[in-house]
Amino acid sequence: MTNGLPHQNTAVETAPHNSPQSYLLISRMVDFWLLGGLSIALWIPVYFLQDQLSLAKSLTMAIPGVALTLAYWVNYPHFMASYKLAYTQGKGFVVQNWFQLLLVPTALVLLIAISFGFWNSSISDSSLVHIANTTFSWLGLKTRLGLYPNLGSEIMGMMIVFLYFTVGWHYSKQTFGCMMVYAKLDNYRLNTLERNTIRYALLSTWWVTWLYSNCSEGTYPFYGLNIHRLNLPYVWFQASYFVVSGLFIAVAVVFFMKYYREKQMPSWNFLVPMLALLIWHIPMLGNPQFFYLLAFFHSLQNFPFVAKVEKTRYRVNNRPKQTVRLLAFFAIMMLLGYLSFDLAPQQLDQSLQSRNLFNASFFMIAFLAFINIHHYFIDNVLWRFKNKDVKQLLFD
């Protein structure tokens, strides 16, 4: 898979629906709720009743706060488990994937260091900024560099914009991976054209979401730093809806033609990740205040895959007390996540008085940017079918 969860480069070779591997975690029903069913169950009353019922209105106010807490605690093992799975596959795996596992983190650390060291350096008179802005104007774009007060905030601001760029891509690709895994488990055979139609339809939802946030001017706060939107042409956002509509019509045609030819319908476990992505990712169906729900359900969706890999590893290696080991694994990942996402950056910001020096929580921004961006690149190599270690553990 390119990102998220596995997909193949050839037609999906699948196992019988009633085989022992026809589900990932405890049962197909549990998989259904984790892969997207729970998010849809929550979305339905909130979306349709939020303007009618006082209870629903209370939920719309309470859910973001609850979701923020749950997202962090569910996200902790999600992010840290990726590091564990990637960097414990041996030196050969790390060297083979040197770009994602060595170069990218090094580059991110260097950018953060430059931002820290040159925070107060002015770039308003920079010739490179002038050339870049002249090029944007020549292309008919209103995007501009130099909107931030200094070089440090410019670098960190662009990193956050890139963070959201990779996050949307990551969510879409993980959804595609979930569907391809269940295509294999369900014996729902997909040829290259059918698989690519589904892939690009899912990716189009990411493009809509990202353009929604960047086809206007203005800023939004991120731990004290005002992030400038890219001010891309609004017509791009309008056109993206036509692209999404066309691609998902094509997906519906794929399902219909497969049923017409083979009399086989896709299972609900195959469909539910796609349906969940649509209702939470498309701006006209969502609500900006529920942003943190995306992170929560994304991590929840990944849980059965990580749990299956770890459980199979314990079984293959004849480890005793496998359930206890699995619980301990997630507890350790949660602790490491707390240290990385909260404790370490907060302590650094407090000890170095970041708010006074940078007018922003520098280390909180830096840690979040590093982990989220690098996570995208880690999953880019971790959850591929050509990664034989994970493939064998996932389907054993």
Arithmetic mean of pLDDT, 106-123? 93
pLDDT attached to residue 56: 53
- The answer to whether 199 and 7 have CB atoms below 8 angstroms apart is yes
Arithmetic mean of pLDDT, 80-107? 93
Arithmetic mean of pLDDT, 339-368? 93
Look up the pTM and report it: 0.86
pLDDT attached to residue 57: 55
Task: Pick the more confident residue, 323 or 385.
Answer: 323
The answer on pLDDT for 54 being more than 80 is no
Crossing angle for the helix pair 192-214 and 268-281, to the nearest 10 degrees: 20
pLDDT attached to residue 96: 92
Which residues neighbour 25 within 8 Å (Cβ) at sequence distance 6 or greater? 31, 34, 303, 304, 307, 308
The answer on pLDDT for 5 being more than 90 is no
Task: Pick the more confident residue, 256 or 68.
Answer: 256
- pLDDT bin (cut points 50, 70, 90) of residue 111 is very high
The answer on pLDDT for 51 being more than 80 is no
The answer on pLDDT for 335 being more than 70 is yes
Phi, psi at 15, each rounded to 5°: -100, 155
Domain ranges, ordered by start, for the chain:
28-395
- pLDDT bin (cut points 50, 70, 90) of residue 395 is confident
Which residues neighbour 391 within 8 Å (Cβ) at sequence distance 6 or greater? 6, 384, 385
pLDDT attached to residue 125: 82
The answer on pLDDT for 290 being more than 70 is no
Would you state the structure tokens that stand for residue 98, as one six-digit string? 């040197």
For the chain, what is the mean pLDDT? 86
Element (H, E) at 246: helix 234-262
Dihedral sign for Cα 330, 331, 334, 339, please: negative
- High-pLDDT (> 70) share of the chain, %: 86
Would you state the structure tokens that stand for residue 136, as one six-digit string? 């944007």
pLDDT attached to residue 254: 96
pLDDT attached to residue 2: 42
Q: How far apart are CA 204 and CA 221, in angstroms?
A: 26
Would you state the structure tokens that stand for residue 108, as one six-digit string? 């991110």
Dihedral sign for Cα 330, 68, 212, 198, please: positive
Which residues neighbour 226 within 8 Å (Cβ) at sequence distance 6 or greater? 157, 219, 220
- pLDDT bin (cut points 50, 70, 90) of residue 21 is low
- Tokens 């007060």 found at: 149
Three-state secondary-structure class, residue 227: strand
Would you state the structure tokens that stand for residue 121, as one six-digit string? 């350096």
